[in-house]
Amino acid sequence: MKASKILFLSALTIGLGSCTIIRQGEVGVKRSFGKIKPEPLLEGARGFNPLTTTIIKLPTRTMNMEVRVPLPSKEGLTVQSDVSILYRLEGSYAPKVIERLGKNYEQVIILPVFRSAVADISSQYYAKDMHTGQRSMIEKSIRELMMSQLGERGFVVESVLLKSIVLPPGLSKAIEDKLEAEQDSQRMQFVLEKEKQEAKRLIIEAEGIRDAQKIVAEGLTPLLIKFKAIEAFNKLSSSPNAKVIITSADQPLMLNANAEQQ
């Protein structure tokens, strides 16, 4: 009776252990009697004999591998950087990856390839370039170099992101001083340009005044002046106030009689 119970429990244990579930974002690799089956196992429930077979699960979703690495620059300086490597495994390559690299493929191939690529690319740029708009070019070049070595092995490098750049203290201060000098230069250029515009405005205004005066001067002929004087006499004659007018027939000079009496 006890023996039958033991056999039943053993069979139940084996039965429960002979099924595994491969979830979304995973792929399975079957190893039977030490040999890797070439066909990957896709999502779903998979039965197997736990005495002879092992199901190895590998992620096919995008993975983020973060590395802190020194970047050698073109001028021989060392720049520290935190880097994120976004990559994924092509599911169809999973059996070959397990057979040739094992489950620890990040340390076996991805990290060494990255370190080699980042050293090759960063040494082509000056340290200051890693702190400016050249950073995106460096990231793109590292990714392309990694893909040339990892693509045929079943890995897709989606992005290489230089998240932080720590420059040597002396270089960082020099870059800050240079940027500050460039800002001062741009500010002074703006002031000079503004002053030039103001000078042009004053010149245009002066030329306008000069031209207006010239037009007025050219229009004041002797006949016109006499005509305006006659108009002035007419207006004075129609005024009710008592006045004394002294004139040379060209211009009137008016004296207020009331003021004289006072």
Looking at the structure, tell me whether residues 37 and 8 fall in a common domain: yes
In a domain, 180, yes or no: no
Of 44, 33, 117, the residue nearest 83 (C-alpha): 117
In a domain, 208, yes or no: no
In a domain, 131, yes or no: yes
Looking at the structure, tell me whether residues 114 and 144 fall in a common domain: yes
Looking at the structure, tell me whether residues 138 and 75 fall in a common domain: yes
The tokens for 123 are 């040494």
Question: What is the rounded CA–CA span in Å between residue 133 and residue 125?
Answer: 12
Looking at the structure, tell me whether residues 87 and 16 fall in a common domain: no
Predicted pLDDT at 180: 63
Looking at the structure, tell me whether residues 40 and 72 fall in a common domain: no
Looking at the structure, tell me whether residues 152 and 72 fall in a common domain: yes
Digitized pLDDT (tens) for each residue of the chain, 262 residues in all: 555 555 555 555 555 557 888 999 999 999 998 899 999 998 888 888 888 889 999 999 999 999 999 888 888 888 888 999 999 999 999 999 999 999 999 999 999 999 999 999 999 998 878 877 788 899 999 999 999 999 999 999 999 999 888 876 665 555 556 656 667 677 778 788 888 888 888 888 888 888 777 776 666 666 666 666 667 666 666 666 666 666 655 555 544 545 444 4
Q: Helix or strand or coil: residue 155?
A: strand
Domain boundary among the residues 29, 59, 89 is at: 59
The tokens for 251 are 């211009």
In a domain, 230, yes or no: yes
HSE-CB for 15 with a 13 A CA cutoff: 6
Looking at the structure, tell me whether residues 114 and 49 fall in a common domain: no
Looking at the structure, tell me whether residues 77 and 162 fall in a common domain: yes
Question: What is the rounded CA–CA span in Å between residue 197 and residue 201?
Answer: 6
Q: Element (H or E) spanning 65, and its range? A: strand 63-72
Looking at the structure, tell me whether residues 150 and 121 fall in a common domain: yes
Residues 6+ apart with CB under 8 A from 44: 21, 22
Question: What is the rounded CA–CA span in Å between residue 185 and residue 178?
Answer: 10
Question: What is the rounded CA–CA span in Å between residue 171 and residue 77?
Answer: 9
In a domain, 229, yes or no: yes
CATH code of 157's domain = 3.30.479.30
The whole model's pTM is what? 0.59
In a domain, 202, yes or no: no
Looking at the structure, tell me whether residues 247 and 156 fall in a common domain: no
Q: How many residues does the chain have?
A: 262
Predicted pLDDT at 111: 95
Looking at the structure, tell me whether residues 79 and 18 fall in a common domain: no
Q: Which domain holds residue 154?
A: 63-167
Q: For residue 44, which phi and psi values (nearest 5 degrees)?
A: 130, 180
Number of independent structural domains in the chain: 3
Predicted pLDDT at 259: 45
